[in-house]
Amino acid sequence: MHEWSVGEGILRSVIDWAKENNINSVKRVKVAIPSFTFLEADILKEAYDTLKKGTIAENSVLEISFKDPVFKCRNCGNIFTIREVINEVEKVKDEFGEEYPLHLMSGLAPAFIKCPKCGSNDIEVSSQEIMIKGVEVNGTP
Amino acid sequence: MEPLEVLAKSKLSGKKTIAVMSAKGGVGKSLISALLSLAISSSNPTTLIDLDIHTMAVTKLFGLENKLHEVTKRGIEPFTIGNLGVISLGGVVKDKYVILSGSNNRSVMESLIAYSVINDVVVFDLPPGLGDEVLLLEHLTDFVPVVVTTPSKVSVKVVEYLVRYLTEKRKRPHLVVNMAYYDCEGGKKVRPFGDERAVNELVKKYGLEYTELPIDPLLEDYIGRIDKYDGVVKQKVIELARDLLKPRRDERS
């Protein structure tokens, strides 16, 4: 269900940006989502396609890509990927179910993911937020 | 473009927002936030958002520990107590401790605002200090600051940093002096912290409006069911709520 809030955030961002730039119609919106959120692309698209009706983004297509953030331990300097801590993430999912904390708030990652080398929670996450990577508007190739 | 920020701003747009804050810890911010939001909710649909994401005291005050927020197409649904909605990270992580660095703190606080279902009046319970929570709120909305202190000289001195900061930002904080006095029989006020000199000097120096709250030992019996509390502190907080909901001088001019 959280995908609906994410869809609303994406749509509002696009509409605000289009208004600021005097754009009347949007063709394509590209978003990047951290993989550990396990957001469902189909539900996010459904939400976006429902919410966009009647807006300047009505004819736009949402293009979703998932990014694997890189984690860096500030305690020991270890750099690691989601694959090395996937068991920890799965445990959290099992405990909380579908709306698990990292699904709702990607910023919580360091509270649930420990460095696999030293066990520290002092983790830096590269590109942990949902980002709009690009918008194509009508009139662009 | 960051959808999180855009959504958080839109959620607060056009709403009356009150931030209960202090540069000092342990002065009663969460308790005052809870009583204030309950008082306001008697006349306006209100949401209390617990931005103290490390302690999540609000869930303890209302007896909401280990309960999870429902998530619908509208967003994170608040716990409801009458006309009051309560949002806390405790409703996302249950009793898990949350240890986070600065930028992640900000992201989680912003997420709580962006993804939640919010009423027309919003009361924020902030963590102590002058950090991301203050900067984030300033960035998102034009809030009314309620600054909490005790009459203790050290508390007043520490709180002055926040009052000075807010004043420089052209905000007009309302000072709440918590645990200011005992109401004794015969209408006599006893002040366990001694005289009120430190508070009076702060009030005079910055031209603050202020409210004193009494000490009520019975309050402890209502931790976990704070909505049932009906004692002397509540009566004073109802008066505070009325003051805060009046159009402020800067709004009238």
CB contact (8 A) between residue B71 and residue A125: no
Binding site members of A: 2, 73, 76, 115, 118
Which residues of chain B have a CB within 8 Å of the CB of A34?
none
Measured on CA atoms in the order A49, A51, A56, A62, is the torsion positive or negative? negative
Domain A1-66+131-140: which topology? hypothetical protein PF0899 fold (3.30.2320)
User: What is the CATH classification number for the domain harbouring B205?
Assistant: 3.40.50.300
| Average pLDDT over every residue of A38-52 | 96
What's the token pair of residue B194? 């001694």
Amino acid at B212: E
pLDDT given at position A114: 93
Q: Is residue B112 part of a domain?
A: yes
pLDDT at B253: 45
B7 falls within a domain? yes
- Continuous H helices in chain B: 3-12, 29-41, 57-62, 90-93, 102-114, 132-140, 153-168, 197-206, 232-245, 249-252
Q: Which domain holds residue B176?
A: 3-238
pLDDT of residue A127: 77
| A25-54 average pLDDT score | 95
Are A131 and B2 within 8 A, CB to CB? yes
Binding residues of A for Ni(2+): 2
CA-CA distance, B66 to B70, in Å (whole number)?
13
Smallest Cβ distance to B4: which of A14, A112, A129? A129
Tokens of B146: 């309620």
- Chunked mean pLDDT (size 10), chain B, 253 residues: 92 97 95 98 97 94 96 97 97 92 89 97 96 94 97 96 97 96 87 90 96 96 98 96 81 50
Q: Which residues pair with B18 in a beta bridge?
A: B123, B144
Most confident range (mean pLDDT) of A46-55, A97-106, A127-136 is A46-55
Section A37-62 average pLDDT: 96
Domain-embedded: residue B196? yes
The predicted model gives A109-127 an average pLDDT of: 92
Q: Where in chain A is the domain with CATH 3.30.2320.50?
A: 1-66+131-140
pLDDT at B251: 55
With contacts defined as CB-CB under 8 Å, which chain B residues touch A111?
93, 96-100, 104
The alpha carbon of residue A85 is apart from the nearest alpha carbon of chain B, in Å, by 18
Cα atoms in the 13 Å half-sphere on the side-chain side of A80: 20
For B94-127, give one letter per residue: b (16+ CB within 10 A) or e.
Answer: bebebebeeebbbbbbbbbbbbbbbbebbbbbbb
List pLDDT tens digits, range A73-92.
999 999 999 999 999 999 99
The stretch A33-52 carries a mean pLDDT of 95
Best of A92, A104, A115, A130 to substitute, by most chain B Cβ atoms within 10 angstroms, is: A104
**Domain count within chain B:** 1
pLDDT score of A97: 86
pTM higher than 0.90, yes or no?
A: yes
Residue holding tokens 């730039």? A21
Query: Residue A138: pLDDT band by 50, 70, 90 thresholds?
Result: confident
Is ipTM beyond 0.95? no
Is B174 among the domain residues? yes
* Residue B102, pLDDT score: 77
Distances (CA, A) of B187 to A77, A101, B117, B213, B220: 63, 51, 44, 15, 23
Please name the residue of chain A whose CA is at the shortest distance from the CA of residue B10: A12
Is residue A8 very low, low, confident or very high in pLDDT (cuts 50, 70, 90)?
very high
pLDDT at A28: 96
Q: Is residue B194 part of a domain?
A: yes
- pLDDT of res. B249: 60
Quick check: is B253 in a domain?
A: no
Rounded Cα–Cα distance for residues B125 and B51 (Å): 6
User: Is the Cβ pair A104, B111 closer than 8 Å?
Assistant: yes
CB contact under 8 A, B97 and A111: yes
The pLDDT of residue B187 is 80
